[in-house]
């Protein structure tokens, strides 16, 4: 339920009014009986449930996607690895405006507030991205650049190493910060 599929499916159903040939790919295992909701909403002809996809094959789905939606609420405060993969693939993505996702620069994604207007805002963003390839391109390029600058695995690994090394070496400033946290 934290992936907000019910919100996505309801918004997508409304999107079909203006884009009747649109197809929604739901990539991953259906652990919440989303298939039943798809049937209830009459979306069986427009939604494809992939089932489990090995991580190496996710890039194939990203390659055919015009844009992605990756909603989360509530979150556990985690960094969204799947969102980073989407952004690294130069794809526009719509995310929930909560937790870490709120920290993503505004020019790198579209953010949906989790409130009574969530479904309407998601629809508006999907319509904008569906209608505007230039917008998708700019957001995707910004996203990829941000991931490359701020989430380079080699740099992150070095930062972790330096931090762990300072704790192991007894850096009192770091130890005090850890204790306070």
Instruction: Name the residue among 39, 86, 80 with its Cα closest to residue 67.
Output: 86
Instruction: Name the residue among 87, 88, 89, 131 with its Cα closest to residue 110.
Output: 87
**pLDDT band at 162; cut points 50, 70, 90:** confident
**Looking at per-residue confidence, does 161 or 141 come out higher?**
141
Structure tokens, 147: 């991931």
pLDDT for the residue numbered 175: 64
Q: What is the pLDDT of residues 99-134, one digit of tens each?
A: 999 999 999 999 999 999 999 999 999 999 999 999
Please state, rounded to an integer, the average pLDDT across all residues of the chain: 93
């Amino acid at each position: 339920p934290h992936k907000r599929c019910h919100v996505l499916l309801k918004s997508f159903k409304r999107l079909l009014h203006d884009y009747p040939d649109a197809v929604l790919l739901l990539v991953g295992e259906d652990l919440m009986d989303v298939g039943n909701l798809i049937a209830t909403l009459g979306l069986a002809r427009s939604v494809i449930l992939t089932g489990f996809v090995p991580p190496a094959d996710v890039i194939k789905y990203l390659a055919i996607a015009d844009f992605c939606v990756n909603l989360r609420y509530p979150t556990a405060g985690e960094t969204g690895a799947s969102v980073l993969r989407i952004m690294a693939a130069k794809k526009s993505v719509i995310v929930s405006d909560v937790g870490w996702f709120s920290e993503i620069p505004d020019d790198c994604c579209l953010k949906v507030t989790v409130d009574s207007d969530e479904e309407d805002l998601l629809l508006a963003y999907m319509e904008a991205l569906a209608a505007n390839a230039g917008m998708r391109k700019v957001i995707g390029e910004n996203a990829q650049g941000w991931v490359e600058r701020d989430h380079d695995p080699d740099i992150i690994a070095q930062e972790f190493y330096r931090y762990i090394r300072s704790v192991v070496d007894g850096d009192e400033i770091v130890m005090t910060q850890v204790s306070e946290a």
